[in-house]
Amino acid sequence: MAAGAEHATHIAMARDLCCKASLRHDAGERFPEPETAMANHYSTEIAREVAPDAVQGYGGYGFVSRLGADRAVYAVERIYRESKGPAIYEGTHGIQKWMIARHMFGRW
């Protein structure tokens, strides 16, 4: 139960970071890089942390995309598979961390 509450808290924090970056962009800021980097980095890390736990919670069904004659879809397998992608195609975590640190220490 504690892991579920912890995951829910981290997911809410990631969602808030994404909303903050989106609001700053919508307000007309050219490119809110620090907030965007934080949202990207943190959301990707949380997705990679939470998805395997969801698969484990479903047991063997966590790795099945469709099951039986009714072809019911299990979204957990897709979520697990897609949680790996952003770390690869949205830039390396090293670059994201560098952008965040550069902003924090005033070398922006």
Three-state SS string over 40-63 comes to: HHHHHHHHHHHHHHHHHHHHHHHH
Q: What is the pTM of this model?
A: 0.70
Which pLDDT belongs to residue 2?
A: 60
CA 45 to the chain's CA centroid: 6
Domains of the chain: 2-104 (1.20.140.10)
Q: How far is it, in rounded angstroms, from Cα 42 to Cα 85?
A: 14
Catalytic residue status for 90: yes
Distances from the Cα of 79 to the Cα of 25, 42, 67, angstroms: 27, 17, 16
- Summarised one tens digit per residue, pLDDT across range 48-93 is 888 888 888 877 666 666 666 666 667 787 788 888 776 666 566 6
| Catalytic residue from among 33, 45, 49, 90 | 90
